Structure 1
Amino acid sequence: MTSTLHWHAFAYTGRGIKSDAEIYAGTAPADFPPLVVADWLTRRTRDGRIPHKHLFTEGQIHEAVSWLEAELTRYPPLDVESFPISSRIGYAYDRLKQKVNRDISWGYWSRGERYVARALILCSGHGTPCR
């Protein structure tokens, strides 16, 4: 964990669910994305660490957006023709540079018929560890 402003990058690719009821009933995959965006930070591995894929600082916005772009390219969304990857990436870059509401949390069905979730969750690091 770090004491400066940073984003945790999370990824899930796998089985989708039919409704939120599967999460409440415990029948969704154990690593399925949480319903509340901030809950990505409450997840822990067996050794107590946050199971993020990458950690990006405020000075690494370009790298964070590049990670998202690579993931979207690897698992293209079904609706990529109506909402191109380049538009999504432009949105992500602008969002991460804002002063508030700087999280990115995308969930979609891929052309490969898998549910894909990618998230960049901001952690302020103001002297306290990430939740």
Structure 2
Amino acid sequence: MQHDDEPRHDHSAAVTQHWHAYSYTGRSYSDGLIRRGEVPSNYPPIEIKNWLTRPADHVMNTFHDVEKAMTWLEEELSQNPHVEEALFPLADRLQYSRDTLDQTAGNDVVHGYYSKAQQYISRALIACPREGFPICPYGIA
């Protein structure tokens, strides 16, 4: 796993807003299977905030900067073209994502779709820390 700042986290400093990047590529599963825990451990949770309850080794990257987060997202989505790319152009999805991250601290960006390769693609930038949810994969929130 990579992080845009070194050291990974300074436990003595106040935790600043950052985003954890998560990734899943594979088949999709029903909500019932997800609720029963009958899915791969890296499969997207039903509630977005629950990404943060996952082990730290599920974090693909951590970003403190919108530009770096957007670079990661663009690379990930470019590698997995949407099955309906003409209806959901990458440029539009990226602009919406950027606008969301730029709006205010604490916003998440989650993309879930089927690729042209017929795989379910999930890419998520999950805001941390978040109000009312004191969990961080690195235990520092």
TM-score of the pair, normalised by structure 1: 0.84
CA deviations over 1:16-71 (Å, ceiling 9, x no partner): 12x21111233322321100000000001xxxx352111110xx211111111111
Per-residue deviation, 1:101: 5.5
85, 105, 114: which one pairs with 1:109? 114
Q: Which moved more, 1:8-17 or 1:20-29?
A: 20-29
Mapped to 2, the partners of 1:11 and 1:80 lie a distance apart of 19
Which residue pairs with 1:23 in the alignment? 34
1:54 and 2:61 aligned? yes
CA contact (8 A) 2:49 2:126 kept: yes
Unaligned runs of 5+ in 1: none
Unaligned runs of 5+ in 2: 1-8
Counterpart amino acid of residue 27 in structure 2: R
1:39 and 2:50 aligned? yes
Per-residue deviation, 1:93: 0.7
Mapped to 1, the partners of 2:53 and 2:26 lie a distance apart of 21
Counterpart amino acid of residue 6 in structure 1: H
Which residue pairs with 2:19 in the alignment? 7
CA deviations over 1:89-115 (Å, ceiling 9, x no partner): 100111001125610011111111111
Q: Relative contact order, CA 8 A, sep 6+: which one is greater?
A: 1
CA contact (8 A) 2:52 2:135 kept: no
CA contact (8 A) 2:53 2:135 kept: no
Which residue pairs with 1:130 in the alignment? 136
CA contact (8 A) 1:42 1:50 kept: no
Give the % identical residues: 37
Mapped to 1, the partners of 2:86 and 2:106 lie a distance apart of 27
